[in-house]
Copies of this chain bind each other. A is one copy, B any other.
Amino acid sequence: MYSIFETEITVRPDDIDMNNHVHYSRYLDYLLMARYDQMKKDYKVSMEEFVERGYSWVASDVNIQYKRPILLQDSITVRTQVKNFHGAQVVVSFWIVKGEREKVAAQGEVGYTMVSVRSGRPVRIPDEIIEKYQV
């Protein structure tokens, strides 16, 4: 079992759409923000370091269920947890929760593929990286 990590997000006025809540595509931006933050803070391999080693992550698929709208004044936390590794792929579960009572605003899974920065092609995730994620 992998740890669950979390990142607090501040909603910006430009995230709000004509329905007066956070635009549905911005949830993916919050998720990406959280993963960047957690790579540095929790896995101790920042995206910058990762790129220096010649690797990068690209999202290969996202599955998201929207449960409750997020308003401008809501405080938001994004939690993520590695589900499994397979070849060049890691699957990550996520929950976007809001307020003190931590109601789920959205949840889902995202698949990331490790690619070589040079070739852009998928690369088997090396053991040293999998190890870093064993926290």
* Inter-chain contacts of A20 with B (CB < 8 A): 18
Instruction: Name A10's closest neighbour in chain B (CB-CB).
Output: B10
B29 touches A25 (CB 8 A): yes
State the Cβ distance, A25 to closest chain B Cβ, in Å: 4
* Inter-chain contacts of A26 with B (CB < 8 A): 25
A13 touches B32 (CB 8 A): yes
Where chain A touches its partner, the secondary structure class is mixed
Instruction: Name A117's closest neighbour in chain B (CB-CB).
Output: B19
B14 touches A16 (CB 8 A): no
Partner of A65 from the list B10, B46, B56, B60 (CB cut-off 8 Å) is B60
What are 11 A-to-B residue pairs whose CB atoms are below 8 Å?
A13-B32, A13-B33, A16-B17, A17-B17, A17-B18, A24-B32, A25-B26, A25-B27, A25-B32, A61-B65, A62-B63
Instruction: Name A48's closest neighbour in chain B (CB-CB).
Output: B73
State the Cβ distance, A44 to closest chain B Cβ, in Å: 15
* Inter-chain contacts of A66 with B (CB < 8 A): 58-61
